[in-house]
Structure 1
Amino acid sequence: MMYGWRNRIGLVVTSSDRTSEGEYFRHTPDGVSVHVARMLLEDGVADAETLERMSADVERCAKLLKTTDVDVIAYSCTTGSLLKGEGFETEIERRIETVAGVPAVATAASIKRALDALDVESLTVATPYIPELNELEVDFLEDSGYEVLDIYGLGCRTDEEICAHHPEMAYRQAREMNREDADAIFISCTGYRTFEIIDRLERDLDKPVITSNQATLWDALRKIDVDYSEIELGTLFRH
């Protein structure tokens, strides 16, 4: 049987990301394939300067994925799709759509759509980032209308450090970030492995958990009208 007989997702990741592909490959519905293009993130350094230079690689990746005849393209990088503030995330989607001629989703935009689908107004945020990126994320979320009650980052400066963390680390960090007055917890970063702990964390905290890859995959599947009801990735995948 042909791979992607049902639909094909194009996935744009940073060149040093070792997490997104694995999470997507294991959790796409039957008949949906994933095809990857990489943007150069110099030395895998996760800071605003290198992420901004990386963003110039978007069109090249879109051109490559267009030749694979994908049905949707997911830009899988959280801070890379919000670093210039609110509105940058939809600009990236438009840039991809213009080149590839198919719908596109960018992680920062997908996160907002996920928060809105779950009626989230206030949240706490767990990240692996350095303070510079945490500040950009808070500004983006608050400018988009959400109340960020708290944010904490692990201080990782490279994708190498981020991708080395096990999902148990994301669980422990998010649990420590929980607040009774938060509608949800958001675990940020597409390189931060989370899929294994989403359901457990929601049961333990009794509130929705949104993560970067989870929101992006959910949004991409919605774009191509694929039934995702059998995927067990938290409350979001029941919407």
Structure 2
Amino acid sequence: MNGWRARIGLVVPSSNTTAEPELSRVTPAGVSVHAARMPLEDVTADDLDAMADRAVECAELLSHADIDVVAYGCTTGSLLHGHGFDAELEATIEATADCPAVATALSVERALDALDCQRIALATPYVEDLTRREVAYLEASGHEVVAVDGREVEANTDIGSLAPEDAYRQVKALLADAEPDGVFVSCTNYPSLSVVEALERDCGLPVVTSNAATVWDALRTVDVDAGGLPGRLAGLGKYRD
């Protein structure tokens, strides 16, 4: 039986080609990932706002698969309206699916806090408006963004076509003139999970990606060890606060 240990329901934008493969690669034996999709082609504030209306429908459909936790796998989609919206999104999905839920933006916050990262270098693929919103979100949660770079990519399929090496080089360039205590590579469609360990070794800092934080949070929510994750998140234990 698939998911004999736990089943993760994943709500993602329809144009996301990265989240499912990355999450499936790092989940432990006995954990399965099952996705539902919300329509999105361009990563803009208006389109993300419209997409969010479909999250409840996706959560209801995933509940038919007897899932154990739902992960809302979109970073900017879960922080678009700031703090309060993220927790409300988790609560609404939980009530609809009748199981715990995590939203990527809050999962990132939890991961950064667990790693004791307060001064953050932020790398995104986003257009300026969304990168700016993300900086405001992180700073409202008590983090200081000391370096930031956005790639100005709007089409989500173009974000998914980036390579992990792009994320590696973006972070290395970002750290040239900054002294953070942690790195966050944003976007569940930005392929970057595979370079986390190389970045941590080469930069000497904890590195969190959107997908790493999301799967870590989902696994610890269902009391499954996240030791298969790359990087320092793997060593943080399995139980949710």
Fold similarity call, TM over 0.5: yes
Runs in 1 of length 4+ with deviation above 2 angstroms?
A: none
Aligned to 2:13: 14
Question: Using the alignment, how far apart are the partners of 1:180 and 1:82 within structure 2?
Answer: 25
Residue identity opposite 2:102 in structure 1: V
Aligned to 2:181: 183
Q: Deviations over 1:62-106 (max 9, x none)?
A: 100000000000000000000001221111101100101100000
Q: 2:101 aligns with which of 93, 99, 104?
A: 104
Q: 1:209 aligns with which of 207, 210, 213?
A: 207
Q: How many correspondences in the alignment? A: 235
Q: 2:91 aligns with which of 91, 94, 99?
A: 94
Aligned to 1:85: 82
Aligned to 2:156: 159
Shift, 1:219, TM fit? 0.2
Are the counterparts in 2 of residues 73 and 220 from structure 1 also a CA contact under 8 Å?
A: yes
Are the counterparts in 2 of residues 199 and 232 from structure 1 also a CA contact under 8 Å?
A: no
Of stretches 175-184 and 204-213 in structure 1, the one that deviates more from structure 2 is 175-184
Matched, 1:236 2:233: yes
Q: Which ranges of structure 1 fall in alignment gaps of 5 or more residues?
A: none
Question: Using the alignment, how far apart are the partners of 2:188 and 2:86 within structure 1?
Answer: 15
Residue identity opposite 1:217 in structure 2: V
Are the counterparts in 1 of residues 212 and 229 from structure 2 also a CA contact under 8 Å?
A: no
Question: When the two structures are superposed, what TM-score results if normalisation uses the length of structure 2?
Answer: 0.96
Q: Deviations over 1:4-40 (max 9, x none)?
A: 1111000000000000000011111000011100011
Aligned to 1:118: 115
Question: Using the alignment, how far apart are the partners of 2:66 and 2:196 within structure 1?
Answer: 32
Aligned to 2:194: 196
Shift, 1:114, TM fit? 0.3
Q: Deviations over 1:158-181 (max 9, x none)?
A: 111100001000000011111552
Residue identity opposite 1:123 in structure 2: I
Matched, 1:148 2:145: yes
Superposed CA RMSD in Å reads 0.8
Question: Using the alignment, how far apart are the partners of 1:129 and 1:69 within structure 2?
Answer: 34
Question: When the two structures are superposed, what TM-score results if normalisation uses the length of structure 1?
Answer: 0.97
Residue identity opposite 1:186 in structure 2: F
Question: Using the alignment, how far apart are the partners of 2:68 and 2:124 within structure 1?
Answer: 30
Q: Which ranges of structure 2 fall in alignment gaps of 5 or more residues?
A: 237-241
Residue identity opposite 1:38 in structure 2: R
Question: Using the alignment, how far apart are the partners of 1:109 and 1:227 within structure 2?
Answer: 19
Matched, 1:32 2:31: yes
Percent of pairs with identical residues? 49
Residue identity opposite 1:145 in structure 2: G
Matched, 1:223 2:221: yes
Q: Deviations over 1:183-214 (max 9, x none)?
A: 10110000000111000100000010010000
Question: Using the alignment, how far apart are the partners of 2:178 and 2:139 within structure 1?
Answer: 19
Aligned to 1:67: 64
Residue identity opposite 1:233 in structure 2: P
Question: Using the alignment, how far apart are the partners of 2:194 and 2:109 within structure 1?
Answer: 22
Are the counterparts in 1 of residues 146 and 178 from structure 2 also a CA contact under 8 Å?
A: no
Residue identity opposite 2:203 in structure 1: L
